[in-house]
Amino acid sequence: MGISRFFSRADPTGITRQRLILASVSLASLLGALDMSIVNIANPAIIKSFQVSIGMGSLVILSYILTISVLILLMGKLGDRIGFRSLLLYGFVVFGIGSFLCGIAPCIGWLIGARILQAIGAAMFSSIGPAVITEFLPGHERGKSLGYLISLSAVGFALGPGIGGFITMYADWHWIFFINLPIIAIAFLLGYYYIPRQILPAVPTPLGWVGPVTFIIALLCLLLAFSLYQVPGTPDLVLLLLLLTGVLFGILFWQYEKRSKNPLISPALIKSRDFRAGILSCLIITMLFSGITYLMPLYLVNSRHLDQFTAGLIMMVPALFSIFIAPVAGSLADRHGTVLISTIAIGLTAAGFLIFTMFDPWTVVFVIVIGMLLTRVSTAAFFGPNGKLIMNHCREGTVGNGSGVMMTVRHVGLVMGIALFQSIFALRMYAMGVPRDGTPLVPKLTPAMSELGYQAVYITSFILCVIVILILRRTKEVPDLIEDEEVPEAVKFPE
């Protein structure tokens, strides 16, 4: 049996085809997030292999994160113009080529360039996953499907360091890039044979270059400021200049968008109060998820004196549970409404952080695991209903744009959350009199002092959860765009 016949066996409009469409975009979501974190633990080996400085080595990580974050919005807009299927497939090809070039990189410059190419491909397929689900899957399956998509993204981000460490230890760091290739091949074939082609406008409106360029510069400078803030020794003047440049170009972008005939972000999305509420909720919870994911291993290792392997296993438990819980939450949102299920999920998250505030140096590990399960799993349960809430407020012609906005916010939140929670912890320590002399903070702290820093983080997390609940209480539901089992009439399946 040939490959073409094998990938053409499913009923073209039935449940099997819907699942294979979901499989294609979910694999893309997993890979995009996995490659954000899988390099972290392999970076020391890369630095040693090429005999470069730590600062140069960090560009291997930053180049990917920053490129994908600043391009996702533009790619989502592009998807409305060239079609979701085309953008997804092009993204797979670019990401695959980038992964191969990373694997054969002969020098650090080559590797950084290949990581940027990888990120361009990842921005293409990551931006469009929610749009594909919204456009081609029935409404009563959308919450569950978005739950799978977003939970696999979170799982990929959480499991990356473990997979990267295993491969680096038992093979070679080059293989952390080569393992992408068979997965990309499967995702490409599924997308090629099962995702429909859309009928697009004959002459799309010109997009222009001022809006995208000012947006990219603004977001790049802001994310660089947040990223370099986490690098010890970065001059405060550099951070301030990056921050001011980002704000300045952000203002220029906003002023241009208000006058543009074809803005980068659709006015229909900006004017929708409920879309804005869903996006703001997504940003806050993504920051919370990212910050806690970053700090919790430090808490387990530095304050509870667990070894890194045990700490890693503890962190994997809620990530694995999330794979099963997120789609269930999405299914509940399909039946009972996105606002209700999102609110319940964040209420449970807030309860978990109240438990965290009661931790002390003698809290047993079992209680810590229970608290982590409650917070991490309920947070994962939020993203599927929240994604459906956001996408249901995207009217015809703005689905790709809305998908790009949501995924941009998620990536920005991942970067900002680490800086925010790291700052909260540090400010609590400085308020206690710990000197801010530019040296690493953690070695100066006793376990009891660290607990006070983490409690400040947990209290902030609880407050953020309450804010999100208040936002959701003012948010309205809208009907699903596609209610039946069939894909839209305005599509064409490949032969």
Q: Which pLDDT tens digit goes with each residue over 10-56? A: 454 567 788 888 888 888 888 887 887 788 777 778 888 888 876 67
Question: Rounded to the nearest 5 degrees, what angle is found at the Cα of 350, between the Cα atoms of 279 and 410?
Answer: 25
Any bridge partners for residue 197, and if so which?
Answer: 492
With 90 as the cut, is the pLDDT of residue 471 above it?
yes
* C-alpha R_g of the chain: 22
Q: Which of 379, 388, 285, 395 is nearest to 335 (CA)?
A: 388
Average pLDDT of the residues of the chain: 81
What's the confidence (pLDDT) of residue 427? 81
63 and 112 Cβ atoms separated by less than 8 Å: yes
What percentage of the chain reaches a pLDDT higher than 90?
A: 19
Task: Please state, in angstroms and as integers, the Cα–Cα distance from residue 5 to each residue in 12, 315, 459, following that order.
Answer: 13, 42, 56
Tens digits of residue pLDDT in 218-251: 888 888 888 777 666 678 888 899 999 999 999 9
What's the confidence (pLDDT) of residue 6? 43
The two tokens of residue 264 are: 């980068």
Q: Is the pTM of this model over 0.85?
A: no
Alpha-carbon distance of 193 to 493, in angstroms, equals 8
With 90 as the cut, is the pLDDT of residue 118 above it?
yes
What's the confidence (pLDDT) of residue 121? 94
What's the confidence (pLDDT) of residue 453? 82
The two tokens of residue 349 are: 């998250």
Which CATH code, of 1.20.200.10, 3.40.50.280, 3.40.50.1580, 1.20.1250.20, is assigned to 1-198?
A: 1.20.1250.20
Question: Quick one: how far is CA 453 from the chain centroid?
Answer: 26
What does the CA dihedral 225, 270, 76, 389 come to, rounded to 10 degrees?
100
* CATH class belonging to 265-480: mainly alpha
Reported as a pLDDT band with limits 50, 70 and 90, residue 96 is: very high
Reported as a pLDDT band with limits 50, 70 and 90, residue 369 is: confident
Which segments of the chain belong to CATH 1.20.1250.20? 1-198, 265-480
